[in-house]
Amino acid sequence: MGFDIFGQYIKDKSQVSDEDLRRIEAVSQMKKLRKRQYLLQEGDIWKYNAFVTKGCVRTYTVDEKGNEHIQSFAVENWWTGDRESLLSGQPSRFNIDAVEDSELVLIAKEPFDLLCKTIPALGAMVNGILERSFIASQNRIQNFLSLSAEEKYLQFLNKYPELTTRIPQSMIASYLGITPETLSRVRKESYRKKG
């Protein structure tokens, strides 16, 4: 079940053959997470590529005051993990846990890198994903530079309408870099304005 979704994703995004798909499956590991369960905890070393087939996970840090700062969400057909820890081999600063009961496909770094080399279409797909991820994070930086709390929220609504219903507001606030109270007030203001 879980791998089928991942396999379909790969087929949609690349020209990987069925045989190569089986080679990918051979190194894949399914992982179920219950809501609130950790996939990665601060201090752990992250060694996988992770693909969400069901549910939703979040990546976040916790500061000295205990405040959480959400770096990213990942729902179905999104990738997650800590690239920095994966690349450096150093302990992660991030936590990743499940926002909902979730299912993921995990592939350890080494076999995945090997497959990317031996299956050019897979390597190309992975590079394309990285490229788009980079562009997306540049755009997010641009939002931090130029938008107010309200504008950031409206932008989020517009970009990820489906997430606003699945994810608690307090987490969306954290993702936007504002407090839950501010988000609540911003929402009140914006449906006073137009609905």
* Binding residues vs its own copies (CB under 8 A): 61, 63, 67, 69-71, 83-84, 87, 93, 127, 130-135, 137-142, 144-146, 174, 177
**Closest Cα partner for 95 from 36, 137, 168?**
36
Look-up of token digits 């939002």 = 143
Residue 56 binding partner per list its own copies, DNA, none, with a CB distance cut-off of 5 to 8 Å that depends on partner kind? none
Could you tell me the two tokens for 112? 């995945």
Cβ atoms within 10 Å, residue 158:
8
Nearer Cβ to DNA, position 12 or 63? 63
Cβ atoms within 10 Å, residue 178:
18
Residue 174 binding partner per list DNA, its own copies, none, with a CB distance cut-off of 5 to 8 Å that depends on partner kind? its own copies
Element of type H or E holding 105? strand 102-108
Q: What share of the chain is helix, strand, coil (3-state, %, to 5)?
A: 55, 25, 25
Residue pair 58/97 in contact (Cβ under 8 Å)? The answer is yes
Could you tell me the two tokens for 182? 């501010």
Could you tell me the two tokens for 128? 């394309």
90 binds DNA (CB under 7 A): no
77 binds DNA (CB under 7 A): no
- Gap between the Cα atoms of 65 and 101, Å rounded: 28
From the CB of 98, what's the least distance to its own copies, in Å? Answer: 20
Nearer Cβ to DNA, position 79 or 152? 152
133 binds DNA (CB under 7 A): no
Residue 30 binding partner per list DNA, its own copies, none, with a CB distance cut-off of 5 to 8 Å that depends on partner kind? none
- Single out the segment in contact with DNA by CB under 7 A; choices: 87-95, 102-110, 134-142, 170-178: 170-178
- Single out the segment in contact with DNA by CB under 7 A; choices: 12-20, 41-49, 73-81, 165-173: 165-173
Which chain residues interact with DNA by CB under 7 A?
148-150, 168-170, 177-188
